[in-house]
Amino acid sequence: MTATQAPLPRITLIATGGTIAGACEDALQQQGYRAGALAIDHLLKQVPGLATVADIHAEQLFAIDSASIEYSHWQQLAERLKQLLADPGVHGAVVLHGTDTLEETAYVLHLTVPSAKPIVLTGAMRPATAISADGPMNLYHAVTAAAHPDCRGLGALVVFGDTLLAARGMQKCDSVPDAFGNGKYGRLGLIKGRAVFLYQRPVRAPGDFQVPATVPNVALLYGHVGLDPEMILQVGRHCDGLVFAGVGNGNLHPAWQRSLTELAARGVCIVRTSRVANGTTVHNGDIDDDRAGFISADNLPPVQARVLLMLALSKTRDPRVIQQLFDMY
Of the listed pieces 11-19, 111-119, 142-150, 308-316, which binds ligand SIN according to CB under 6 A?
Answer: 11-19
Q: Is 214 strand, coil or helix?
A: coil
Strand partners, 92: 11
Of the listed pieces 1-9, 15-23, 305-313, 315-323, which binds ligand SIN according to CB under 6 A?
Answer: 15-23
- 98 touching ligand SIN, by CB under 6 A: yes
Rg for the chain, CA atoms, rounded: 21
Contacting ligand SIN (CB under 6 A), which of 9, 18, 246, 319? 18
Other beta carbons within 10 Å of 43:
23
273 is known as an active-site residue: no
Strand partners, 58: 13
- On the 0-12 / 13-18 / 19+ scale of CB atoms within 10 A, 8 is middle
- 105 touching ligand SIN, by CB under 6 A: no
Q: x/- site string to ligand SIN, residues 121 to 160, per CB under 6 A? A: --x-x-----------------------------------
Query: Shortest distance, CB of residue 234 to ligand SIN, whole angstroms?
Result: 30
- 240 touching ligand SIN, by CB under 6 A: no
Contacting ligand SIN (CB under 6 A), which of 11, 14, 15, 35? 35
Q: Cα dist. 237→37, 218, 248 in Å?
A: 39, 11, 26
Looking at the Cβ atoms of 99 and 144, the one nearer to ligand SIN is 99
- 104 touching ligand SIN, by CB under 6 A: no
Beta strands in 111-208 (DSSP E): 119-122, 156-160, 163-166, 171-172, 180-181, 189-192, 195-198
| b/e sequence 13-28, b meaning 16+ C-beta within 10 Å | bbbbbbbbbbbbeeee
Q: Which position among 12, 16, 19, 163 bears the catalytic label?
A: 19
**Binding residues vs ligand SIN (CB under 6 A):** 17-19, 35, 65-67, 98-100, 123, 125
